A = this chain, B = another copy of it.
Amino acid sequence: MRSVSIIGIGQSAVGELWDRSARHIAYDAISAAMQDAGIETADALFLGNMLSGSLLEQEHLATLVADFCGLRGIEAAKVEAACASGAATLRIGTMAVASGMHDLVIVAGLEKMTDTVGKDTTAGLATASDAEYEALHGVSFVGLNALIMQRYMYEYNVPIDAFAGFSINAHRNGANNPNAMFQEAIDLDAYVKAPVIATPINIMDSSPICDGAAALILAPTEYVKEFTTSHHRGAVQILASASANDTLAVHDRRDPLFLEAAYVSSQKAYQQANVTPADIDLFELHDAFTIMSALSLEATGFARRGEGWRMAHEEQIGINGKLPLSTMGGLKSRGHPVGATGVYQVAEVVQQLTESAGANQVRNARIGMAQNIGGSGATIITHILGT
């Protein structure tokens, strides 16, 4: 198996991009990544996306984007795993290069969730849950997460503002990310006064609906020097890539408060990279809701069961903390364009490992981890990168 490296990254702005259609947003990210890597074509484009069928009436999306980017004659396919589509796509791009079937692969993620005429984005997001056993009964995606959060607070006797630190940290970091949807810090007062959207989840616990695209250029590690130009930021190696699933429906799990798939995929990743949690210099976790941050930290080996929320303080998770989280704003502040999120996370880890994270640079960052969650924990994918 060939070792695989990331030789370029690109990101579109995240937000309500009313003046950009899906193909334009994808072009912004892909052209930036190709320029960053110093390449003019590629062998394949794998594109993570969840909602183009239900919200945009557009399938065949990867070929559409490849065509629009001038990449004709190459392989193109869309990959979908709900909100974990981005990382699922990175895994497939990694397989393509690792197998030797391709040398230069573009891995992109794209979501256009606003400006969808006559479509209901909340209903679209509910397609990540079981249409026949969850969505049919009217539960929305935020509703499922609210049930999990409520149970967590009851089971471990946790006060509601215990989760505030995750949101405050994300906004503090997002304020310095020019691509972030929300570029302003918030304080505890803003969190406490935030409107509740599904008890106990308030708007500051929850990531926003938005548009965005991100892209990575993959190449065999052995060829990295060949692609390196004088402007090159330096390549980052994919040390580990692991995916695991769980029951789609939350009610089918033995324990709704333990992310079994996060445990399995992170353990596999630690083994592949030959590291332990203590070796991780920063962690881009899937903070779609603050409760997911707590559960991820617990299942991934950074906190004991029921104690993930205790890490929600600057000295723990800030840029200069023990384990910096959501260093460019995370899903909460950078934004959560669902099919693109997993690719943004990895692009941000690359920024950190190549000292391109600006004001949010984590000092001496050598090993970074990204974890992307699909549904309410049904698909969880962990990547570990290193220089």
Question: Given A52-B53, A95-B92 in contact, is the A248-B79 Cβ separation under 8 Å?
Answer: no
Task: Indicate if the CB atoms of B244 and A129 lie closer than 8 Å.
Answer: no
Task: Indicate if the CB atoms of A60 and B76 lie closer than 8 Å.
Answer: no
Task: Indicate if the CB atoms of A73 and B244 lie closer than 8 Å.
Answer: yes
List A243-274 residues whose CB lies under 8 Å from chain B. 243-249, 252, 260-261, 264
Find the B residue at minimum CB distance from A71. Answer: B245
Task: Indicate if the CB atoms of A88 and B98 lie closer than 8 Å.
Answer: no
Chain B: minimal CB distance from A91 (Å): 7
Residue A67 is within 8 A (CB to CB) of chain B in the complex = yes
A118-150 near B? 1/0 per residue, CB < 8 Å: 000001101111111001000000000000000
Alpha-carbon gap, A130 to B65, bound state (A): 11
Chain B residues, Cβ within 8 Å of A54: 53-54, 57, 59
Which has the most chain B C-beta neighbours within 10 Å: A60, A78, A246, A378? Answer: A60
A365-384 near B? 1/0 per residue, CB < 8 Å: 00000000011001100000
How many residues of chain A get a CB closer than 8 Å to chain B's CBs?
68
Chain copies in complex: 2
Which has the most chain B C-beta neighbours within 10 Å: A73, A94, A241? Answer: A73
Question: Given A1-B99, A73-B245 in contact, is the A131-B80 Cβ separation under 8 Å?
Answer: no
Main secondary structure of the interface of A (DSSP, over half): mixed
From B50, B66, B73, A59 is in contact (CB under 8 Å) with B50
Residue A194 is within 8 A (CB to CB) of chain B in the complex = no
Task: Indicate if the CB atoms of A63 and B81 lie closer than 8 Å.
Answer: yes
A307-333 near B? 1/0 per residue, CB < 8 Å: 000000000000000000000000000
Alpha-carbon gap, A20 to B168, bound state (A): 48
Task: Indicate if the CB atoms of A101 and B264 lie closer than 8 Å.
Answer: no
Interface residues, chain A, CB within 8 Å of chain B?
Answer: 1-2, 21, 44, 50-54, 56-64, 66-67, 71-82, 88, 91-92, 94-96, 98-101, 123-124, 126-132, 135, 241, 243-249, 252, 260-261, 264, 374-375, 378-379
